């Protein structure tokens, strides 16, 4: 995989790759470092496949979400990524589809590699009918226009989660509960819900991916984000980085040099503070022609 290896005290090796460091200790413990989360997930999945055990922060910090039966789960992707769209997905599961999704090993997309997410998203779309999932994506340009109007990402998220819930309820299934990952004041989603959405119980909690419906939505949202980011890269003959790290800033500077400051409106969330780092203090303006 292109790693270089170093010897360290008490370690079998330290391996350095593309923005990732893997430490294998004499005890058998493996510790990761670096910002390349996709590569880390890929190596984690390999380790699990050969019998390793994951040691993670215990989820017992958060009690189970005591909901069962037919319910809607919503989640988003791209919120912390400078480049690419904002995606909100919603899933409606029943007792029957819950069994199928459980057998597939659905869990929070943040713990999965992109390859696994893509494979699971394909299977999810085969298990659920078209009126049982909803994926909304907001292009960077549309996002920047909405942000100028609303001045707050959480208001955009609230609208997106509410729209996903409303669209799923319009399918006619008898559903009384929706669960969303809490991203701010609970009023953001509540205020954006319309007639159908206001008839159900809305549960907003941190780490809502504990629930199968929300975890399923998180996979569909991340899959769409990755797909749209790749599609955007193809139109510029490049590969846009994820996140908002120093590496993203350096890429952004090269992008601006090639395409100009205003091109950021089409590919990035320009209210992020790193915009000024990339441009040297300039922030692209959204003119009436864009709106």
> Distance (Å, rounded) from C-alpha 89 to C-alpha 84?
16
> Distance (Å, rounded) from C-alpha 120 to C-alpha 110?
13
Tell me the three state secondary structure of residue 162.
helix
Contact status, residue 155 vs residue 170, Cβ threshold 8 Å: no
| pLDDT tens by residue, the chain, 291 residues | 888 998 888 889 999 888 888 999 888 899 998 888 888 888 988 898 888 888 766 545 677 788 889 999 999 999 999 999 999 999 999 999 999 999 999 998 888 888 999 999 999 999 999 999 999 999 999 999 999 999 889 999 999 999 999 999 988 888 999 999 888 788 889 888 887 778 899 999 988 999 999 999 999 999 999 999 999 999 999 999 998 877 889 999 999 999 999 999 999 999 998 999 999 988 888 887 777
Local structure of residue 4 (DSSP, 8 states): E
| Domains of the chain and any CATH numbers | 4-55 (3.30.310.10), 67-230 (3.30.420.10), 237-279 (no CATH)
């Amino acid at each position: 995989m292109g790693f270089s290896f170093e010897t360290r005290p008490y370690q079998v090796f330290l391996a350095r790759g593309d923005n990732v460091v893997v430490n294998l200790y004499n005890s058998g413990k493996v510790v990761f470092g670096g910002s390349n989360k996709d590569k880390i997930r890929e190596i984690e999945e390999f380790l699990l496949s050969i019998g390793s055990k994951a040691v993670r922060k215990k989820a017992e910090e958060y009690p189970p979400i005591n909901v069962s039966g037919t319910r809607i789960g919503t989640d988003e992707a791209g919120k912390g990524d400078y480049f690419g769209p904002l995606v909100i997905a919603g899933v409606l599961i029943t007792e029957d589809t819950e069994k199928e999704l459980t057998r597939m090993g659905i869990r929070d997309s943040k713990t999965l590699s992109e390859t696994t997410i893509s494979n699971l998203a394909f299977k999810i779309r085969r298990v659920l009918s078209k009126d049982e999932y909803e994926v909304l994506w907001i292009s960077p340009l549309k996002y920047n226009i909405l942000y100028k109007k609303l001045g707050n990402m959480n208001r955009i998220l609230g609208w997106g989660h509410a729209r996903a819930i409303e669209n799923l309820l319009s399918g006619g299934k008898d559903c009384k509960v929706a669960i969303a990952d809490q991203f701010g004041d609970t009023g953001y989603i509540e205020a954006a819900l319309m007639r159908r959405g206001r008839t159900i119980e809305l549960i907003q909690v941190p780490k809502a991916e504990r629930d199968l419906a929300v975890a399923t939505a998180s996979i569909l949202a991340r899959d769409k984000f990755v797909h749209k980011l790749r599609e955007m890269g193809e139109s510029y003959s490049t590969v846009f980085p994820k996140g908002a790290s120093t590496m993203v800033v350096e890429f952004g500077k090269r992008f601006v040099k090639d395409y100009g400051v205003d091109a950021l409106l089409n590919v990035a969330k320009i209210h992020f503070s790193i915009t000024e780092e990339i441009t040297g203090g300039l922030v692209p303006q959204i003119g009436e022609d864009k709106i």
